[in-house]
Structure 1
Amino acid sequence: MESTGSELPTSPWKTEEELIEALRRQEDDAYEYLVRAYSGRLLVVAKRFLGQDQDAQDAVQDAFLSAFKAVGDFEGNSKLSTWLHRIVVNACLMKLRTRKRKRERTVEELLPHFVSDGHRDQVEPSWAVTFDTAVQSRETREIVRQRIEELPESYRTVLLLRDIEELSTEETAARLDLSVSAVKTRLHRARQALKTLLDPHMNSGY
Structure 2
Amino acid sequence: MGSTGGDPADDSALVAGLQAGDRAAFERLVRDHGARLLAVARRMVRDEATAQDCLQDAFLSVHRGIARFEPHGSFSGWLHRITGNACLMRLRSAKRLAETPIDDLLPAFDADGVRMGEPRTALRDPENELEAARIRRFMRQKIDELPEGYRIVLLLRDIEGYSTREAAEMVGIAEGALKVRLHRARAALKTLVEPLWNELERS
Instruction: Return the match for 2:152 from 153, 157, 173.
Output: 157
2-side partners of 1:42 and 1:191: how far apart? Answer: 25
Match of 1:205 in 2: 202
Query: CA deviation digits over 1:137-185, x for unaligned, max 9?
Result: 3332232222111110010111112212222323322222212332121
Deviates more, 1:191-200 or 1:99-108: 99-108
Q: Return the match for 2:78 from 73, 78, 83.
A: 83
Preserved contact between residue 127 and residue 199 of structure 1 (Cα < 8 Å): no
Give runs of aligned pairs for residues 70-149 of structure 1, distance below 5 A: 70-101=65-96, 106-129=101-124, 137-149=132-144
CA contact under 8 A between 1:173 and 1:183: conserved in structure 2? yes
- Greater helix content: 2
> Which residue of 2 is the match for residue 169 of structure 1?
164
After alignment, is 29-38 or 94-103 more displaced?
Answer: 94-103
Unmatched 5+ stretches in structure 1: 1-5, 9-13
SS of residue in 2 equivalent to 1:76:
coil
Q: Percent identity, please.
A: 44
Alpha-carbon RMSD: 2.9
Residue-by-residue CA offset, 1:73-107 (whole Å, 9 max, x unaligned): 11122332211111101111111111143999842
- Aligned equivalents of 1:15, 1:116: Cα separation in 2: 60
TM-score, scaled to structure 2: 0.83
Aligned structure 1 segments of 4 or more residues deviating by more than 6 angstroms = 102-105
Matched positions, count: 194
Query: TM-score under structure 1 normalisation?
Result: 0.82
CA contact (8 A) 1:173 1:180 kept: yes
- The equivalent position to 2:58 in structure 1, one of 63, 71, 79, is 63
The alignment status of 1:192 with 2:154, answered yes or no, reads no
Structure with more relative contact order (C-alpha pairs < 8 Å, separation 6 or more): 2
Structure 2, unpaired ranges of 5+: none
